[in-house]
Amino acid sequence: MSTKKDTEILQGFITGDSRVLREVYSRHFPEVKSYIVKNSGTETDAKDIFQDALVLTYQKLKSGSLSLECSLATYIFAVSRNMWMNSLRKRRKKITIDQRPEISANLEKSIFTEIELQERKAIYQKYFLKLGSSCQELLHYFFLGKKMEEIASLMSYSAAYTRKKKFECKQKLLEMIEEDPTFKELRSENLKSKAK
């Protein structure tokens, strides 16, 4: 890949250019999928991990807290690999066929810390996007800090119905999150560490 193209892809990635993101998917998802499937995962696991890895990379690049010492592709693979290793560790499984990316030990360590920090947040966001569009819209206004009356008027609901609907949407979201296997693992880890 030429340097000019690298810059263009990086720029497009940060601005969320759909064409660049399609390109990133078609070029790099197969490698991540193959790695995960070879190591006890499914295609769905691979999709989830790849999506989380892209979001984490996007956030780091956007905030300016990451200066890439390797290509974007290597970084995305390194994040995906570490996320999957982390997930297997929690399920008490081991990597059988490893593929170490060529990155420094420091970068690898920082990726690992970042994954731990973002893990729970990613689960909440992922399930929020699985809600129906009216629940997403209502909760979006709610989390922005808008008052119930204001949300009611924006959504053409009555105030009482808005409050009821807010409860139902939030309850549904929490129930979905609680059913997520990673969330359950994180919860049990949390309880264990509190018990010590």
The footprint of another protein (CB under 8 A) covers 1-2, 4-5, 7-9, 11-12, 15-23, 25, 47, 51, 54-55, 58-59, 62, 120-121, 124-126, 128-129, 139-140, 143, 163-164, 166-167, 170-171, 173-174, 177
Nearest to 49 by CA among 22, 79, 70: 79
Q: How many angstroms separate the CA atoms of 182 and 90, rounded?
A: 8
Instruction: Using the minimum distance from each CB to another protein, give the nearer residue, 65 or 104.
Output: 65
Q: Give the nearest distance from C-beta 100 to another protein in angstroms.
A: 26
Tokens of 11: 């720029």
Tokens of 181: 């296997």
Instruction: Using the minimum distance from each CB to another protein, give the nearer residue, 97 or 191.
Output: 191
Q: Give the nearest distance from C-beta 107 to another protein in angstroms.
A: 21
Q: Give the nearest distance from C-beta 185 to another protein in angstroms.
A: 15
Q: How many angstroms separate the CA atoms of 17 and 14, rounded?
A: 8
Residues in the chain: 196
Instruction: Using the minimum distance from each CB to another protein, give the nearer residue, 104 or 188.
Output: 188
Instruction: Using the minimum distance from each CB to another protein, give the nearer residue, 95 or 136.
Output: 136
Tokens of 32: 């991540």
CA dihedral sign, ordered 93, 94, 98, 100: positive
Phi then psi for 168, rounded to 5 degrees? -60, -40
Q: Give the nearest distance from C-beta 40 to another protein in angstroms.
A: 22
